[in-house]
Structure 1
Amino acid sequence: MEFLTEFGLFIAKTITLVVALLVIVSVVLSAAHKDKDDQGSDGELRVRKLNEKYRKLRESLQAKLRSDSERKAFEKARKKEDKAKQKAEKAKRKSGDAEEKPRPKVYVLDFDGDIKASDTDSLRRSITAVLSVAEPETDEVVIRLESGGGLVHSYGLAAAQLDRIRAKGIRLTACVDKVAASGGYMMACVADRIVASPFAILGSIGVVAQLPNFHRLLKKNDVDFEILTAGEHKRTMTVFGENTDKGRTKFLEDLEDTHVLFKEYVGERRPELDIAAV
């Protein structure tokens, strides 16, 4: 019996030691992971040359549409052409007769917006990278935009990123395949021009807010809910407390102020637009 007791104590100590070691390892790994996240918090940018992508696609289709003998002749001619082009460019660089004017470039960015405009941070990094190399006189930025809108402050920040492109004097085009409404349109209207598909939804220059209220349910079940505030309008509408007409009026005033700011923002970037008619 004494042996079993000592053995049990030994097992308990061993388990305690193992658990302690696991906790320490877990903490160390967690800290290391956090440091890694902090170091890589800026994420990464992926750059693709779209002209190369579509050139390869075209050549692949051209090759598939030819017979075996035609394909071989086509590949041979293409390689010969590429070699001659590289040779000519090398000779031009060697003679110092290269063109002084840079070739115009189009930088294509994507923004897929959710209610929080979560893609804003990625957009900010992309725009910072583009602005470091783009030439105002020749280059253009195209943003492929899709968003049904969302939080006012989030989309205000996203639109401000596009304002940086305009501020640098670089042409900006917004392409909308499906929808750029509300906050999405706030972003689109920054562009010099908007190119939209025939059935795309654009506009909706308005502000909306909605929230459920559980006050009557709580009251029915004898549950009290208290909100303590300092300041007359610190809390105008609440989910669990009883909403008042005064609170609703103030909340509507805030919505209207935001709506006025939205219309002014659009009007500044689309001066030819009749905001009242829209």
Structure 2
Amino acid sequence: MSGVIEVVRVELLSEYGLFLAKIATVVVAIAVVAVLIVNLTQRKRQRGELRVTRLSDQYKEMREEMSAALLDDHQQKQWQKARKKKLKLEAKAAKAKAKAGEADEKGKSRVYVLDFKGSMDAGEVNALREEITAVLTVAKPQDQVIVRLESPGGVVHGYGLAASQLQRLRDRQIPLTVAVDKVAASGGYMMACVADKIVAAPFAIIGSIGVVAQIPNFNRFLKGKEIDIELHTAGQFKRTLTLLGENTEEGRQKFRESLNETHDLFKGFVSQMRPGLDIEKVATGEHWYGTQALENGLIDAIGTSDELLLGLLEDHEVIGIRYQQRKKLMERFTGSATESIDHLLMRWWQRGQKPLM
């Protein structure tokens, strides 16, 4: 009898194990399908999206709301009635034009507003190139572009590419204005000087036309711990300075030569963009505040981006352009960490250190 019971137990365990295996297989299959769906969705969304905001309408609504708020109750009721009637007539006219196949042209030239808040690696250039491409597909000769720029600089190749993207507007003879409210230094100024006009706030930080690089060396520490480092290169100057190996005076000299060559390229670029500038006077790596920058010819006018846009609202249609890349799930976590580091570096620089380049 006990033998029969034991056989039954074995069969039950076997069937239960087979059942669990089936469940696990189904769960894994569902997970695989879910991952495939997510990947396909992310691939479709990888290109990101372009967001267009009619800033003229926003400012107009703000002005109307403020005007209404200053009226008494009776006047507000009359104003609301008149406004509803006006909106109804405008909507009816637009519908009639659309039905007739007519373009809804307001007869005003357009001002396209782009924002560039640069980090050390100038990663924002990916969005900038999309925004500029979008503008170039529709811009007319009478239109213009304003870039609200904020950057203390960063890697040379990143900001060189960002400046080249702005150069595309200049090559197409589309008037470009750069507005600096806080800082456009080093690589940030490399971008700004491409513009036909630079407007900066009175205490905005401008300039820092220089190049800086630093690298720690742990060779003496490692020698003290009896740790040898071997570095093999093909090419005399494949590696000039190293983190762990022993640096030579020849390598240091070559490293300084490379910095000076980069600085010369930087100065040449600024001189080409702003030929009236005394480049030797301003290319010392120093930075200036807005009013000082105006005296030195680094900018063309004093003012904030808000004043600049408000002055264009009456005669122009002001449109904000922003390209936003959809991030993958992992990038959302790593991206937030990167942004935190950038913010810390920005604060460190703002406390008196030189901008990175």
The normalised TM-score by structure 1 is: 0.87
1:15–1:117 Cα change, 3 Å: farther
- SS of the aligned residue for 1:74 comes to helix
Of the structure 1 ranges 216-225 and 141-150, higher mean CA displacement relative to structure 2 is found in 216-225
Deviates more, 1:36-45 or 1:185-194: 36-45
C-alpha separation between the residues in 1 aligned to 2:219 and 2:133? 48
Aligned-partner Cα distance in 1 for 2:75–2:209: 57
Q: Is the 8 A contact 2:98 2:104 kept in 1?
A: no
Task: Give RMSD over aligned pairs.
Answer: 3.2
Task: Say yes or no: does 1:249 pair with 2:253.
Answer: yes
Structure-2 residue corresponding to 1:59 = 64
Quick one: structure 1 residues 263 and 52, their matched pair in 2 at CA, closer, same or farther if it must change by over 3 Å?
same
Matched, 1:77 2:79: no
Q: Percent identity?
A: 52
Deviation, structure 1 residue 34: 3.3
Q: Aligned with 2:161: secondary structure?
A: helix
Q: Distance in 2 between matches of 1:226 and 1:31?
A: 45
1:190-228 Cα deviation digits (max 9, x unpaired): 000001000000111100111111111211112222222
Question: 1:156 aligned to 2:147?
Answer: no
Write the distance in 1 (CA, Å) between the matches of 2:139 and 2:100: 27
2-structure distance, mates of 1:20, 1:125: 44
Q: Which runs of 5+ in 1 are unaligned?
A: none
**Greater per-residue strand proportion:** 2
Summarize the Cα distance change of 1:30–1:249 in structure 2 as closer, same or farther, 3 Å threshold.
farther
Give 1:44's aligned residue.
49
Residue 224 of structure 2 is aligned to residue 209 of structure 1: no
Counterpart Cα distance in 2 of 1:231 and 1:50: 55
Residues 1:181 and 2:185 are matched in the alignment: yes
Q: Deviations over 1:139-174 (max 9, x none)?
A: 110000000000000000011000000011100000
Alpha carbons of structure 1 residues 11 and 62: separation in structure 2 relative to 1, 3 Å: same
- Higher mean displacement: 33-42 or 220-229: 33-42
SS of 1:45's equivalent in the other structure is strand
Q: What are the equivalent positions in structure 2 for 1:1-278 lying under 5 Å apart? A: 25-83=30-88, 102-136=107-141, 138-278=142-282
SS at match of 2:112: strand
The SS at the match of 1:202 is strand
Structure 1 position 41, deviation (Å): 2.2
- 1:81 to partner: Cα distance: 3.9
- 1:23-63 Cα distance to aligned partner (Å, 9 max, x none): 66555544443333333222111110000011111111122
Q: Distance in 2 between matches of 1:242 and 1:27?
A: 51
In structure 1, distance between residues paired with 2:187 and 2:216: 23
Once the 2 structures are TM-superposed, how far is the Cα of residue 267 of structure 1 from its aligned partner?
Answer: 0.5
Distance in 1, matches of 2:238 and 2:77, equals 76
Shift, 1:257, TM fit: 0.7
Consecutive unaligned residues in structure 2, runs of 5 or more: 283-357
- What is the distance in 2 between the residues matched to 1:77 and 1:101? 22
SS of corresponding position for 1:177: strand
Larger relative contact order (Cα-Cα within 8 Å, sequence gap ≥ 6): 2
- SS of equivalent residue, structure 2 residue 279: coil
